[in-house]
Amino acid sequence: MNETVYKERRDRLLEMMDDGVAVLSTAIMQMRSNDTEYPFRPNSDFYYLTGFEEDNSVVVLCKKGDEHKSVLFVQEKVPEMELWTGERLGVEAAKACFSFDEVYGIKSFEEQIKELIKEHTLLYFELFDDNKVYAQLKTVAKTMLHTRGVTVSPRSFSDITKLTQQMRLIKSDDEVALIKQALSITEQAHHHAMKRCRVGMLEYQLQAEYEYLFKKEGAFSDAYTTIIAGGNSANTLHYIKNDQLLKEGELVLVDAGCEYGFYASDITRTYPVNGIFTPAQKELYNMVLDVQLKVIAAIKPGGSKKELQAFSEKLLTEGMVAFGILEGEVEALLEEKAHKKYFPHGIGHWMGLDVHDPCPYSDDNGDELLFEEGMVMTIEPGIYLPQDDEKIPKKYWGIGIRIEDNILITKEGCENLSQGIAKTVDEIEVACC
């Protein structure tokens, strides 16, 4: 995205703020083991406001009445470090490339922040993050409080994520384009892997087919750890061991999506290991698919996730009663939450820079936020029937099914951004050939 997009976001955040100073640090490098690090990914809120991808960097936004100032701190260029870890943009290049009022080296942060927060009583930062920058910030504020000659200094703190995550709830056209590109790659990966799935393959071998396509098509990271759950393993919702054999006559539940330009996709498909659904698998699958299609059709501005949750639970419960998985009156079963044993999770979640975008679901009064044009969410009904559950028909034992798509709320209704990924029984059986 063009740098003006990030500047507009910073300006919008400054308008939302009360007079004060906001400080947002990027993520820190995470150790994998000993002296080996995980690949770096910037903090999502920090990236949303800056477009800056390097570690060891901080953004500071100052507001006093109509006076606004934006400051970026970056890692200084150190040739000895760059020999090992690669070239840095540095202060001068960052000044030229990014639309900040001021850019400094990160080594000067502690000294500069004293000047930036002077004459301000309110500090915004990520209150619930243990990043060392925020600990440093609080130490500076405390020191200033007890420094002679300083008459005004920070005495109150506010969580900046309350504002940034509210901003992130509505996606721009540029953001939707990046999500669509992630989904285009994810579509290719699912179809590629469906064709290569076979009896006797290990789950991690099927996982490798997905991740190969992700990287081949320019998505250098998955958006989350891929789930490849054959047979009864699909009844563990966040199964990531991915080390079992894929067996004849079983389904495999695959939850896999890539990240492109730091924007996520999140897709689940469930398909037969041998490419052909059994009659029992087909009837359960079609029931879950029917629920998903009806829930998606109900999405429109003014609706809510709570309404979709209730609608999906009612439909799934009706299906479970029809197939003898639950016994009793639908309304009574819903009241007892009997369906939760076999559908324990939510119908979906926000998606964007994070696969589970941490945007709000309710306002300050606790009222559910209503859908608006530009929101992006997943819709993912499922049914999970454990092996040896004697309360359900034996033909369904060990079957777990989830179908997940990514939905953009539009002016009139919604758009299924992932509708090109094989989903009906016929489509899947053709894709698996």
* pLDDT tens, position by position, 227-284: 999 999 999 999 999 999 999 999 999 999 999 999 999 999 999 999 999 999 999 9
Out of 47, 260, 384, 396, which one is annotated catalytic?
A: 384
For residues 259 and 222, give the distance between their C-alpha atoms in angstroms, rounded to a whole number: 5
Of 131, 150, 167, which marks where a domain is finished? 167
161 and 178 in a single domain? The answer is no
217, 308, 210: which is closest to 268 by C-alpha?
210
| Domains contained in the chain, number | 2
Active site residue 248: no
Rounded to 5, what percent of the chain is helix, strand, coil? 40, 20, 40
Residue 252 maps to which CATH number?
3.90.230.10
228 and 346 in a single domain? The answer is yes
Of 123, 151, 167, which marks where a domain is finished? 167
Active site residue 402: yes
Active site residue 384: yes
Out of 15, 35, 335, 388, which one is annotated catalytic?
A: 35
257 and 150 in a single domain? The answer is no
In angstroms, how far is CA 217 from the centroid of its own chain?
A: 20
Active site residue 266: yes
Token readout for 287 is 């029931």
Q: Percentage of the chain with pLDDT > 70?
A: 100
158, 170, 150: which is closest to 126 by C-alpha?
158
For residues 195 and 206, give the distance between their C-alpha atoms in angstroms, rounded to a whole number: 10
143 and 267 in a single domain? The answer is no
- Is the overall model pTM greater than 0.75, yes or no? yes
Out of 41, 119, 345, 427, which one is annotated catalytic?
A: 345
Active site residue 192: no
Of 138, 167, 196, which marks where a domain is finished? 167
* pLDDT tens, position by position, 157-204: 999 999 999 999 999 999 999 999 999 999 999 999 999 999 999 999
231 and 352 in a single domain? The answer is yes
122 and 204 in a single domain? The answer is no
269 and 158 in a single domain? The answer is no
Out of 175, 209, 404, 405, which one is annotated catalytic?
A: 404
Token readout for 8 is 């507009």
The residue-averaged pLDDT of 101-116 equals 94
Out of 203, 209, 250, 255, which one is annotated catalytic?
A: 255
Cβ neighbourhood burial of 65 (10 Å; 0-12, 13-18, 19+): exposed
The residue-averaged pLDDT of 384-406 equals 97
Dihedral sign computed on CA atoms, order 404, 406, 409, 413: negative
Active site residue 238: yes
| Higher-confidence position of 396 and 144 | 396
Out of 266, 313, 354, 357, which one is annotated catalytic?
A: 266
* pLDDT tens, position by position, 6-56: 999 999 999 999 999 999 999 999 999 998 999 999 999 999 999 999 999
241 and 336 in a single domain? The answer is yes
In what order do the strands lie in the sheet containing 405-409?
A: 376-379, 405-409, 414-416
Domain limits at 399?
173-431
Active site residue 339: no
Active site residue 307: no
The residue-averaged pLDDT of 128-139 equals 88
Out of 290, 356, 368, 415, which one is annotated catalytic?
A: 356
Q: Is 25 left (phi over 0), alpha (psi -120 to 50) or beta?
A: beta
159 and 215 in a single domain? The answer is no
Out of 92, 238, 372, 426, which one is annotated catalytic?
A: 238
190 and 105 in a single domain? The answer is no
For residue 1, what are the contacts with CB-CB under 8 A and spacing of at least 6? Answer: 51, 174
Active site residue 45: no
What is the chain's mean pLDDT, rounded?
A: 96
Cβ neighbourhood burial of 40 (10 Å; 0-12, 13-18, 19+): middle
153 and 184 in a single domain? The answer is no
Q: Is 253 left (phi over 0), alpha (psi -120 to 50) or beta?
A: beta
Least confident of 12-21, 110-119, 280-289, 340-349: 110-119
* pLDDT tens, position by position, 277-301: 999 999 999 999 999 999 999 999 9
For 84, phi then psi, to 5°, come to -95, -40
Predicted confidence at residue 347, as pLDDT, reads 98
* pLDDT tens, position by position, 201-234: 999 999 999 999 999 999 989 999 999 999 999 9
Active site residue 357: no
Predicted confidence at residue 149, as pLDDT, reads 65
355 and 234 in a single domain? The answer is yes
Tokens 């750890």 correspond to what residue? 225
| pLDDT for 309 beyond 90 | yes
Residue 56 maps to which CATH number?
3.40.350.10
